[in-house]
Amino acid sequence: MALIPCIYQKYLMKKNYVWIFFISQIAYVVADAIGILAGSRYNLDLGIPDMILYILSGNFALIFEKGFSTFGCMLLFSKLIPIGVEATMSSITMALFQMSIFIFRNIMGVILNKLIFKVNLDNLEHDYINLKILSTVGSCAPLIYMWYFVPTRNQADLVQ
């Protein structure tokens, strides 16, 4: 996590804020794609142990995804929140952001599974890979619309 501000200072300082979120989402897509590899068990045919996939998808990629998302939100909101209400707005912003990552994302997955896919312990071996494929495709969706929702540097500077 401490590496993310250094990466920002070195490579992203003059770029638009959307690139921070783009890197974050790419890390999430890569983590999901590694999950497909693990779920399909092709990693064993390629000679890649499960532990390596677990470390890459579960720890490494998701830490970078959450780190860049959190850093991007904090950076962007520090530019957009007016003086005098920083503490309140920052607290609300972080609460909503954390709820979206740790609660809403998981609840949405559970709801979609119960309504559409119905993966459970009885059919886990066969249908889990389909669930991972859908998760990976779904994690690509923000790459399409984030370019329209994240303000540019010029737009953020106008607010200040």
pLDDT tens for 26-85 read 988 888 888 888 888 888 888 888 888 888 877 777 788 888 888 888 888 888 887 778
Q: pTM of this prediction? A: 0.78
Write down the pLDDT at residue 19.
93
Return the pLDDT at 1: 66
- Mean pLDDT, to the nearest integer, of 6-31? 89
What distance in Å separates the CA atoms of residue 150 and residue 22, rounded to the nearest whole number? 10
Q: Can you tell me whether residue 123 is helix, strand or coil?
A: coil
CA distance 149 to 45: 42
Q: At 48, list the tokens.
A: 């890649």
Average pLDDT over residues 132-138: 82
pLDDT at 22: 93
Instruction: Name, in order, each residue with C-beta under 8 angstroms of 5's C-beta and a sequence gap of 6 or more.
Output: 71
115 against 160, higher pLDDT: 115
Which percentage of the chain shows pLDDT scores above 70?
99
